[in-house]
Structures are given as C-alpha cells and as structure tokens.
Amino acid sequence: MIRRLVRSVAPLFLLFAAPLAAGGFGETAQKVQERVLANGLRVIVLARHDAPVVSFFTLVGVGAVNETTGITGVAHVFEHMAFKGTQTVGALDYAAEKEWLEKTDRAFEALRAERLKGPRADPAKLSAFEKEFKSFEAQAASFVAPNEYSVILESQGAADLNAMTSADFTGYVVSLPANKLGLWFAMESERFREPVTREFYKEKEVILEERRLRVESAPIGRLIEEMLAAAFKAHPYGQPTIGHKSDIENLTRTQAEAFYREHYTPEKITVAVVGDVSTGEVFDLAERHFGPLPAGPRNASPYITAEPPQGGEKRISYESPHQPIVGVSFHAPAAGHPDEAAYDALADILGGGRTSRLYKELVKKEKLAVEVGAFHGMPGNRFPNLFMVYGVNAVGKENEAVLNGILREIERLKKDGVTEEELAGVKRRTRAGLIRSMRSNEGLAQSLALAQLIHGDWRELFRTLDKIEQVTPADIQRVAREALVSQNRIVATIVKPEPQK
C-alpha cells in the first residue's frame, strides 16, 4: 500500500524506456516465424494455443524524433487520427463529408493565418473566420459515425485497444478472441491504407487536454520535458513527444497527412501477432490485406541532426509546489552499441530494486529518499540517449543532499568497480525477468516488434541473456568512467517557487 501511495516516478520514465528484452529461450525463439512482404512490410508470428486469444502489435518506425520544428507532436496527433476510421468505417457519406472536410481546412487555414498576425490580427476577421470554421466543422461532423472503428473492435471483444507514441516509434495494440483474426487484418490494413483524418480539430483539443494532464498539470512531466530540452540542443530527442502547445494548436490537417504519407510506408511497419493462430493463415491474411499497400522509398533513413558533445554540466530546475525530486542524467550510446548490456547492468546495480546501491545507501541507510531508480534509454533507444538516475526526496530532505548522495555513489562505483556477486545477481534477475516477460501475448508481441525496430532483428530479443552473461565487472566500471562524468551530466530538480515579493 505504501508503494502505491508514494507516487512512483518510474512508470513515467519507463514510458519512454526500452522494452524488457528477453533471451536465450530456444523453444520460444524456434516457434517465431517471420515474413517480409514484397512492399517491405514485416510480419512476425508466434503461434501458441493456450487460450483462444491473440494479441496484435503494429509498430510503425516513426516517432517524435522524425518531427521538425513547427510540427512537434504530429506523430502523436496521427496516432489519434488512426482511430478516426476510413472512407467506409466511421463514414455515413464520405463523398459529402470530404467536401466539408476540405472547406473546414481552408477555413482553419484562414483563421490560423489571421491569428498568426498576433496583435495586428483583425478582430472582425478573426470572429468571422472562426464562425465559418465552426460551421463547416459541424457540417462535416454530420456525416460521421463517431468512433466507429473502435466500437466495431470493442463490440467484437477487443481488450486493451490502445496506441502509443514515443520518441522512437508509434505502436498500435489490441487483443481479440482468436476467431477475430480475419477481422483484425481487414480493419488494421484499411486504416493504414486509406485513413480519413476526420474530426481533426476536435481531436487536437482532446490532445491539448492530454498535454495538460500529462505535462502541464504534472510537474514531473514538466521536469522531464525541461531536462530533455537541456540535454539535446540539436538532436530531436530534445523535443517533447506530445508536442509544444502552439505546434498542436497550429497544426493543419494538410501537414498531418503529409507526415503520414512520408512515414507510414510499409517498410517502416512491423506487425507482430502472438497467440492462438495458424502461422500460415496469418501470412496469407497479411499478404491479402497488407500486400496492396504501395511500397515507399526503400532504405530511406532520413538525416537527423547529431547531438554534439556537451562539454560541461548543465543544471535546470522547475519551480513548483510539488514535492522535490532530483534527476541526474548522462549522455549514453544508443541501443545496439556493444556496451548496451554493460549499461543495463550498471543501471540495475545502481538503482534496480531494494538491493541496489542507491536504495541501500539513500533510502535504507541515510533516509534521504523514498524511491530511487536508474535506467538507460531516455527518451528513446534508436539514437544516443540518456542514462538517468533519480531520487524522490524523503519528506523534508533537501535536493542538495539527495544529489550529493547520488553523485557520491556514482563516484564510489567508478573508483571501486562492482563485485562479482552484484553482477551475478543482475544476471540471475535478468534471466528470471526474461522468462516472465515471455508469458504475456501482448508483452511478447511488443518486445518482438521493438527488437526488430531497435536492433534491426527480432532475434536480438532472445540474445539479451547471452549478452548480459558476457558482461564483466571491468566492463561496468569502464562504461561508468566513460559516461558518468560531469561534462556529460544534466542535473534536473523540482524546487519550491520563490515567494512573490
């Protein structure tokens, strides 16, 4: 109960973190089958027949990292639009609707242009444009069967119908009774073949509420946004995944659709299916439904600005009546780097569970913090990222004390290294964790697809254990000495607001 009451910070971070990878499990690995369609779309299937259910994960290799200034948040906006249906689903009369959708766009663009004049905007025009926009929007809405896409799946027994957008990717999740396999292929393929971005402007309002919920009313959400912005001045990992408020407000449907056309190409899509299915049937259905998607440009890796070396410590703070918290981050290599497993072991030894160094020292012994953690992969894994350590101050404890405690433990580790015993624990826990992660269809579908995206091969999921087995105490000490240094460090804290004079 106490663990429930102390608000856990970890999930907020993990939202952005790597999936739990698995490893060395021949039996499961042997059963996984893969097919790449002619247009480049990849299908990964694991048939297992325990219960008549199946989980689907459609992973699109596009995330906030693919956004440019002015359209931040567009990947996430499109994730929402993917539930708005198609020319048939959600449509009462698409031909009529289309006309009003386009009129609405033009009205919005006129309104937007006038608004962007700022103080020079003509109030009369603003009000006229606004009126016209609202009226066209209502006209378009009259041809919509709202949420029909989701309603069809839910009435067919969908569980956990959801989607997620991160810096690295966009993912669409659902589990269904196993007899709905054909239904899923029909529905999923159509929404990525001919999505209709209806109710676009209303949905932006919903997204602005989501932003208020997750970031603006959540000081830890704000702190993370500020910390990433400080850490990445050049690389788009510094941009908020949900987008800046004004970008969401000013985004046009034309921009969102252009983003979709550029990035939702079959080559970037991986579909993972785990559950009570026949692998052959899945491949046939995939061919039939996803085969017709037109191929995009091959091997199109867009250029993304590299983050230059930081050169000195950065400190940022966010003023809030929120209880204090201390985050200490360091620039670290992307997943797939040969040292990935060493960084994961380092995170576990520093901040994983009740026997980690930070927990034993800061929570149990010095009672400076009530929660600590460490992990690698903030805010994503595809590009060089952050290794982050944090502590949630115990009531009445100063940020400085918590920060010094964290830095002291890091220095001790760099100086003395880690013990064989500590590393043996990491390996044992990794094994147990990986075995458990194999149990859920939904979790396994996501892990397979993400391993494919991040490592370019889903088989890496099953090699995780081998990789961690090869890590030595010297590796851990070496990466700590390389990365956990002041020139590489960003310190982020929540501090009490200064009293207004």
- Which residues from 134-173 bind other proteins, rule CB under 8 A? 141, 145-148, 150-152, 154-161
Q: Which residues, listed in sequence order, are joined to residue 372 by a DSSP beta bridge?
A: 391
Question: Taking CB under 8 A as the rule, does residue 179 contact other proteins?
Answer: yes
CA separation for the pair 135, 133 (Å, rounded): 5
Report the site for other proteins in 69-88 (rule: CB under 8 A): 83, 86-88
**Residue 54 host element (H or E):** strand 53-60
Q: Identify which range of 125-133, 316-324, 411-419, 461-469 contacts other proteins by CB under 8 A.
A: 316-324
| Closest separation in Å from C-beta 405 to other proteins | 15
Q: Which residues, listed in sequence order, are joined to residue 193 by a DSSP beta bridge?
A: none
Q: Please give the full DSSP string across 415-435, using - where no structure is assigned.
A: HH---HHHHHHHHHHHHHHHH
Return the closest-CA partner of residue 323 out of 11, 1, 6, 13: 6
CB closer to other proteins, 424 vs 474 = 424
Q: Identify which range of 67-75, 314-322, 336-344, 481-489 contacts other proteins by CB under 8 A.
A: 314-322
What the block records as the tokens of 308 is 């230059």
Report the site for other proteins in 402-431 (rule: CB under 8 A): 421, 424-425, 428-431
Report the site for other proteins in 327-356 (rule: CB under 8 A): 353-355
The burial of 306, by beta-carbon neighbours within 10 Å (0-12 exposed, 13-18 middle, 19 or more buried), is given as: exposed
CB closer to other proteins, 186 vs 230 = 186
CA separation for the pair 449, 271 (Å, rounded): 7
Among 66, 72, 175, 464, binds other proteins (CB under 8 A): 175
| Closest separation in Å from C-beta 51 to other proteins | 4
| Closest separation in Å from C-beta 256 to other proteins | 16
CB closer to other proteins, 104 vs 430 = 430
CB closer to other proteins, 204 vs 331 = 204
Report the site for other proteins in 12-51 (rule: CB under 8 A): 48, 50-51
The burial of 149, by beta-carbon neighbours within 10 Å (0-12 exposed, 13-18 middle, 19 or more buried), is given as: buried
CB closer to other proteins, 53 vs 64 = 53
Strands (E) in 333-438, as ranges, are 369-378, 385-393
CB closer to other proteins, 315 vs 436 = 436
Rg of the chain over all Cα atoms, to the nearest angstrom: 24
Question: Taking CB under 8 A as the rule, does residue 291 contact other proteins?
Answer: no
Question: Taking CB under 8 A as the rule, does residue 202 contact other proteins?
Answer: yes
Torsion of CA 303, 309, 314, 316, to 10 degrees: 10
CB closer to other proteins, 360 vs 478 = 360
Q: Please give the full DSSP string across 466-498, using - where no structure is assigned.
A: HHHHT--HHHHHHHHHHHSSGGGEEEEEEEPPP
| Closest separation in Å from C-beta 451 to other proteins | 19
Among 31, 68, 209, 469, binds other proteins (CB under 8 A): 209
